[in-house]
Amino acid sequence: MKKVCVAVSGINAVDNPGPGIGVIRSLKEDSVLEIEAIGLAYDAMEPGIYMDWLVDRVFILPYPSGDKEGFLNRLLYVKKAANIDIVIPTLDAEMPVYIKAADYLQSMGIKTFLPTKSQFELRGKTKLTEVANKIDLKIPETRIVTSYEDLVKALNDIGLPVMVKGLYYKAYRAYTYQEATGYFNKIVAEWGYPVIIQQVVSGEEMNVIGVGDGTGGSLGLVAIKKLWITSLGKIWTGVTVKNEALLNAASNFVKEFKWRGAFELECIVSKDDIYLIEINPRFPAWVYFATGVGINLPARLLKAALGLPVEGKNEYSAGKLYVRYTYDIVTDMSIFQSIVTKGEC
Amino acid sequence: MDKLARLAISEEGFIFDPVSGNSFTTNKTGLFNLKALKEGKGEEEIVQALTEKYETTKEGAEKDVTDFIEQLRYYRLI
C-alpha cells in the first residue's frame, strides 16, 4: 500500500497530554496502513518532537487563536514540504479553525475527517440538554448564569456543592458560596459569560470514545472507567467496561446527529441513570487505550477519510487495564536547535 | 441475580464487575458464598454447605451469610 503522510497535532505528551502521540502510535500499529507521521507542534519543548520512533518530522505552527490566514499558510507550507495527505487535529482550540477551513484544505489536497460546524456546536454546555434528551441520557440540574444575582439564585435553587463551568472549558467543584463566587469570577475573567452552574451528581465516571462515519454509522466505540486521575483530572489508570446502556447511548448519539469524526462522551452512571457531562469533538489523550483493546479508532478514521474499507469488529473485552507512565529521553541539542531556528526538523 | 451472573470471579477471590468497572476482593468464605449464590443456591442451602465445609456453627454461618449478602447489596452487586 502507498505510504500515507499524516499530520497530527497535540504531540505535547506532558502532564496534561495532548492526544497526538496516542493517535500516531495507533496509526503506526495498524496492519494495513503504512504511515509517515508529521507532528504539528506549537512549542519547541513539546516532547513529541523528540520521540523520533513515532514522529518522523515536525513542524512548528503559529497558534490557531491568532492570525487564521497565517495558520493556514503555515499548514500549506507543511503540505508543500512534507506532502501531507491528511491532517488529524486533536486539540480543542484548533478545531473551529480546521472545521471552518475543511473545504479549503480539501481543495489544497489536505483531507480531514471532522464534525460539521453544527455538530461541533453540540459540545456547548447549553446544548447538552438537547443532546441528552435525544439519546435518552439525563443531565444534572443546570442553570446558565450571566450575573452575580443569577449565580446566587442558581446556588439557592440547586444547593451546594455545585460544579461551576465555562461554556466550553474549565470546571470547578464549589462547596461554599464563597468558592462558587470565586470560580464564577475566574471563569468570567478568562472566558466571559455565560457561566454554567450544575448539580453535582455522584456515581461512576465513565467515558466513551468513538468515531462516527458522518452518515449515522459508528466506526467503533469503547467505554472505560477512570480508576486513577492526576491532580489535573487526567486519567492515569483506567479499565474497560461493557455498560450496554452507555454504549447504546453513544451509538444513538452517532446515529441521531450523524456525527462525523472522533468524539468522547463524558458521563456519570448513577444506578440506572446515565448523566451526560461533556462532549469532546476529538480524540481524548487516552485514545491508545481503545487501540490496545483491538479497536484502532485513529486508523479507522484515517481509512474512512481515504475511502478505504474499515474493519467492522466492535468487540472488546471488559476488564482490560490502562496504565500511563512517564519516560525519559536523553538527546543532543540538534533537534531543539533545528526546531528553534528553522521551525521544523 | 443478573448482576451476579455478569461478575468475573477469580479463584484468588478477585471480583470484577464489567458494567461498573469496579473491582473487589473477598476471602475464601466470601468466594464460597459468592459461587453458591451464582449457582442459584438459597441462604439456607449456603449455611448448610458452610457448616459442612468449615468448622463453624449454624448460627455463625447464618450471620456470615447474612452479612455477606448485605455487603453485596451495599456494593450493588445483587
- With an 8 Å Cβ cutoff, are A225 and B20 in contact? yes
Residue position matching grid coordinates 444547593: A159
Test B20 with A269 for CB contact under 8 angstroms. Answer: yes
Domain that holds residue B33: 2-74
Mutate to test the interface with A, among B9, B20, B76 (most CBs of A within 10 A): B20
Are A241 and B19 inside 8 Å of each other by CB?
yes
Alpha helices in chain B (DSSP H): 2-6, 28-38, 43-53, 58-74
Q: Which residues of B touch A244 (CB under 8 A)?
A: 19
**Is ipTM over 0.90?**
no
pLDDT averaged over consecutive 10-residue blocks of chain A (345 residues)?
94 95 98 97 97 98 92 97 98 94 97 97 88 93 93 95 87 94 94 91 94 97 95 92 95 97 95 92 98 98 96 93 96 95 96
pLDDT (tens digit, 9 = 90+) per residue, A275-332? Answer: 999 999 999 999 999 999 999 999 999 999 999 999 988 999 999 999 999 999 999 9
For residue A11, what is its C-alpha cell?
A: 504531540
Q: Give A103: exposed, middle or buried? Use CB within 10 Å, 0-12, 13-18, 19+.
A: exposed
Count of domains for chain B: 1
User: What is the Cα gyration radius of chain A?
Assistant: 20
Q: Which of A224, A242, A293 to mutate to test the interface with B (most CBs of B within 10 A)?
A: A242
Question: Tens digits of per-residue pLDDT, A1-22?
Answer: 789 999 999 999 999 999 999 9
3-state secondary structure of A24: helix
Q: Which residues of B touch A224 (CB under 8 A)?
A: 21
Please name each of the domains of chain A with its CATH number.
4-113+328-342 (3.40.50.20), 120-126+202-323 (3.30.470.20), 141-199 (3.30.1490.20)
CA distance A322 to A213: 26
Distance of alpha carbon A336 from the chain centroid = 27
